[in-house]
Amino acid sequence: MSGPDAAGSAAGGAQAPRTPTPAEDDAFLAEAISLAREHMLAGDGGPFGALVVRDGQVIARGWNRVTSTNDPTAHAEVVAIRAACATLDSFELHGCTVYTSCEPCPMCLATCYWARVARIVYAATRDQAAAAGFSDALIYDEIPKAPDARQLPMDRRLADASSGPFDAWAQKADRVTY
């Protein structure tokens, strides 16, 4: 089966990572909040920070770099997840916790699911972010709509040819499913 499954499920019967204590959760979350403030004040981007942690060890840190890199996908969680995946040489982060200074936006939440993290611990809510000018309400409202009902025009074309890549993928003997 492809796509996100049960988040953080252990592969191959590997020993399950230990669950952080509430004090550890608070310490890692405080570091994410500190990263958010530090890098926002340095001009790196918006006020968001994140850590990826497994078994009590920080695997990666990330902070918002949208404006400093001109990359709208450079949100703190995505930056941290990319770094963690590179560090662990894996596109899956089973057993990892993402600590983030704010409730993840839809893109970051989806990234956490695709990376198969075990859990997310956050501080500020999306309502607090919206009050500071970072509202995701439109995206949350648009996602459940049919493509032709969204504000962003979406035109489906070449429907007859669209299954070709998927058919080839299904036949590819050395594919790596995810």
Active-site annotation, residues: 77
Cα distance between the two ends of the chain: 8
Rounding to the nearest 10 degrees, give the CA dihedral for residues 81, 131, 27, 98: -20
3-state secondary structure of 50: strand
- The two tokens of residue 1 are 């089966």
Say how far apart CA 178 and CA 99 lie, in whole Å.
23
Instruction: Evaluate the CA torsion angle 151, 137, 110, 50 in order and state its sign.
Output: positive
